[in-house]
Structure 1
Amino acid sequence: MSPSALASRLKDAFLSADDGLLMRGAFYGLLAAAGAFLFVDLRELSLASEDLPGHDPMTTDAPVLPPALTDGVPNAPPVEPESTPEVLRQPMHFELLPGGVLKAEGSIDLGAADRFAKEIEARGEYVKAVSLNSPGGSVTDALAMSTLIREKGLNTEVATKALCASSCPLVMAGGVARAAEKDAIVGVHQVFNAGEERPSPERAMSNAQSTTARIARHLDTMGIANGLWIHALETPPDRLYYLTPQEMAEFKLVTEAVPMAKQTN
């Protein structure tokens, strides 16, 4: 069975299942298995061909905004981001905006979480919300940023024509309240080992299972519906599944229609 078929079957089973502890345990087990097959399949594809590169936003030969995956056919993103590719490819940096909003812009490079933690520590209680504009990057750093956001009781938001893709929605999920403006660009896809040496098949499967479980558990802890991660598992790493406003609400990725900072103005 192909990875996409396996992910599709998992989604159908999940949508038709009764909610309960037993079904949740089975769901996480199946997610881990699906992640392993997806990771190994991607590794085999990358060894055989260079036509399916992983989406690394910090490399100059990869598009900052990959095509959408719609019924297996790449389509253009819903709107173009306001920021230039050069801005989005740079390592994540932070800017304090009026109203206690900390703008986090650029790729989530290794070490971004440490810089974010130092920024939050330096700003004290003044920061109330984090505004995201990022094509993604390091999953480990994204999870750490998300966890800190929730611990500090901060909100998250994505502005009009701002981008939050790949691992960035993991950061967004950490907000106590979460919002996306009209034409905010939010997308997900499979995780991959960009910039790393290809591991052995055994290690690849172990890494995939561990990463899949970590992400699924984190999203569940943050109150995000499982359907969001199912769409990520279905989408190759050189494509994005762009979420509609209705899907963001359905998956509880957003809790507010308008960013909190705009509501107080």
Structure 2
Amino acid sequence: MTAQAAAPRPKPGRTRRWLMAVLGLEGALALVLFASDMRLALPRLGLPSSAPALTQPVAPGDQTRRYSPRQLERPASPGQPMPSTGPMPERLAFEREGTVLTLTGSIAPGDAQRLAEALERAEEAPQVVQLNSPGGSVTDALEIGRALREAGAETRMTEGAICLSACPYVFAAGTERRVAEGAMVGVHQHYFGESPAMPLFAAVSDIQRGQAEVMGYLIEMGVDPALMQPAMETPPDEIYLLLPEELERFRLVTPEAEEA
């Protein structure tokens, strides 16, 4: 019997071409991912929004303002200058006075668990939750909202308070929801934890799942999911401030009882 012929060895030139093609494909994918990441990061790095400052009063059709959670100012009385709120806590601060719980500061990852533990330690659930927050973690905001709804708490905003970015999702959880004149409620696009190492198609899928979760949450809380339209149209370095009539139309506030 004759020995089986050895398999032909690939030519060095062909191997190099295959390697170059693979490296080229990986480089192109890296460029796509880098461009995608830079598109998300540029508003925070080097191309500030050209929208008016948050201190400027809004009017119908003129409601988009520059947004930076570290440079926030709030309105005082209508028609008066808007003084600074001062630095916000980098994660939620809990202040309890009787049956009123005040949540102040950014919503950081892990704040939902902190709040759940605080509610578990409390002798009774809060009846009213007051909010003053520039937003933050969407995931934690939804978890906090569900905890507040389970507790049966109302949500309120006092004059001069802010509730921006992910904060309105916490506010939406109130069994009754009130916004005082001079408070600011605003929405914009969110991140859902996509990683720079995640393939582009997976990152898009992750964002879509996140948006679907938020819409389902709003429906669960009795809020019109159409609220997502101005949110999705507003980039992360800007904020869309909702007018009182929009708060009512999106059912984000509880309608005032008609007088007898």
Q: Normalising by structure 1, report the TM-score.
A: 0.68
Query: Do the aligned partners of residues 181 and 43 (structure 1) sit closer, same or farther apart at CA in structure 2, a change above 3 Å counting?
Result: farther
Q: Corresponding residue for 2:97? A: 97
Residue pair 1:81, 1:161 contacting (<8 A) in 2 also: no
Alpha-carbon spacing, 1:179–1:81, altered in 2? closer, same or farther (3 Å): farther
The DSSP-based 3-state class of the residue aligned with 1:164 is strand
Match in the other structure for 1:166:
165
The question of whether the paired residues in 2 share the 8 Å contact of 1:131 and 1:157 is answered with yes
Summarize deviations over 1:16-63 as a string: whole Å, max 9, x none.
xxxxxxxxxxxxxxxxxxxxxxxxx99846525854129xxxxxxxxx
What amino acid sits opposite 2:93 in the alignment? H
1:53 aligns with 2:52: no
- Matching residue's letter, 2:109: L
Percentage identity across paired residues of the two chains = 34
- After TM superposition, the structure 1 stretch with the greater mean CA deviation from structure 2, 120-129 or 211-220, is 120-129
Asked whether the equivalents of residues 135 and 165 of structure 1 are also in contact (C-alpha less than 8 Å), the reply is yes
Between the aligned partners of 2:54 and 2:254, the Cα distance in structure 1 is 25
- Cα distance, 1:219 vs. partner? 0.2
Following superposition, the deviation at residue 200 of structure 1 comes to: 2.0
- Give the deviation of 1:153 after TM superposition: 0.8
| Aligned equivalent of 2:177 | 178
Cα deviation, residue 82, structure 1: 5.8
Matched, 1:221 2:220: yes
Distance 2:196 2:44 in 1: 14
Corresponding position of 2:79: none
Determine if contact 1:133/1:158 at 8 Å carries over to the other structure.
Answer: yes
Report SS of the residue matched to 1:208. Answer: helix
Contact 2:154 2:175 in 1 (8 A): yes
Match of 2:250 in 1: 251
**Would the alpha carbon gap of residues 49 and 235 (structure 1) be closer, same or farther in structure 2, given more than 3 Å must change?**
closer
Q: For residues 136 and 249 of structure 1, what CA distance do their matches in structure 2 show? A: 21
Q: Which has the higher helix share?
A: 1
Letter in 1 for 2:121: A
Q: How far does residue 78 in structure 1 lie from its aligned partner after superposition?
A: 7.7
- Contact 2:64–2:239 (8 Å) recurs in 1: no
Aligned 1:1-265 pairs, distance under 5 A: 44=35, 46-47=37-38, 51-53=42-44, 74=65, 79=75, 80=82, 83-84=85-86, 86=87, 88-98=88-98, 100-193=99-192, 197=196, 199-255=198-254
Alpha-carbon distance change, 152 to 49 in structure 1, aligned in 2, over 3 angstroms: closer
Deviation for aligned residue 1:226: 2.0
CA contact (8 A) 1:113 1:144 kept: yes
Distance 1:161 1:44, change over 3 A: farther
CA contact (8 A) 1:81 1:162 kept: no
Which whole-Å deviations, capped at 9, do the CAs of 1:89-145 have from their partners, x for residues lacking one? 4211100124x1100011100110011111212223251011111101111100000
In structure 2, distance between residues paired with 1:109 and 1:145: 11
CA shift for structure 1 position 83: 2.6
1:240 aligns to what SS in structure 2? strand
By how many angstroms is 1:177 displaced?
0.5
> 3-state SS of the aligned residue for 1:199?
coil
CA distance in 2, matches of 1:205, 1:95: 38
Change in 2 beyond 3 A, CA 1:49/1:113: closer
- 1: distance between equivalents of 2:106 and 2:62? 28
Output the amino acid matched with 2:210: T
Cα separation, 2, equivalents of 1:73 and 1:134: 18
Q: Name the CA distance, whole Å, in 1 between partners of 2:213 and 2:184.
A: 24
Partner SS for 1:237: coil
**Partner Cα distance (1:175, 1:198) in 2:** 38
Q: Displacement of 1:252 after TM fit?
A: 0.8
Quick one: distance in 2 between partners of 1:219 and 1:49?
A: 25
Extract unaligned runs of 5+ from structure 1.
1-40, 55-63, 259-265
In structure 2, C-alpha distance between the alignment counterparts of 1:202 and 1:145, rounded to whole Å? 30
